[in-house]
Structures are given as structure tokens and as C-alpha cells.
């Protein structure tokens, strides 16, 4: 009787261990996926900010040219 109970408990513990291991793999996969998504979004955000900050504004170039022409007269 005690042997059957111990055998059942060992089987249940093995099943729980397997489930915990699988859930650990799922959590690891989701963590990597979210990390990669965040890294990609942050990279794109930085690229957009740098592009906006360092792309010359055509109207600003026109103003600078007008000032240069005015100073040259």
C-alpha cells in the first residue's frame, strides 16, 4: 500500500517536473521574442530620431541661400 502511494507520488512529481520544464522553455522563448521586438523597435526609433535631427530641411536650406545672397549684395 505504501509502495503504491510512493510510486504514484513519484509519477506525479515526474509529471510536474516535465510540465515545469516545458513552461520554462515557453517563458524563455517569449522572453527572447519580446527582447528582440523591443530591441528592434528601439533601434528603429533611434534611427528615426537621428534621421529627423540630421536630415537637412529643404526650407532651411532655402533660407540659408537667401541670407547668403542678401549678404553678397
From first to last of its 73 residues, the chain has per-residue pLDDT tens of: 777 888 888 888 999 999 999 999 999 999 999 999 999 999 888 988 888 778 777 777 777 788 888 888 7
pLDDT for 37: 94
pLDDT for 3: 78
pLDDT for 23: 96
Residue 57 phi/psi, 5-degree rounding, is -85, 125
pLDDT for 10: 87
pLDDT for 29: 96
In the chain, how many H helices and how many E strands?
A: 2, 0
CA distances for 65 relative to 25, 50, 71, angstroms = 61, 24, 10
Amino acid at each position: 500500500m505504501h509502495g503504491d502511494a510512493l510510486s504514484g507520488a513519484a509519477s506525479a512529481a515526474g509529471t510536474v517536473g516535465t510540465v515545469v520544464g516545458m513552461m520554462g522553455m515557453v517563458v524563455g522563448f517569449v522572453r527572447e521574442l519580446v527582447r528582440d521586438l523591443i530591441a528592434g523597435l528601439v533601434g528603429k526609433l533611434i534611427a528615426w530620431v537621428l534621421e529627423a535631427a540630421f536630415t537637412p530641411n529643404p526650407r532651411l536650406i532655402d533660407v540659408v541661400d537667401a541670407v547668403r545672397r542678401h549678404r553678397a549684395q
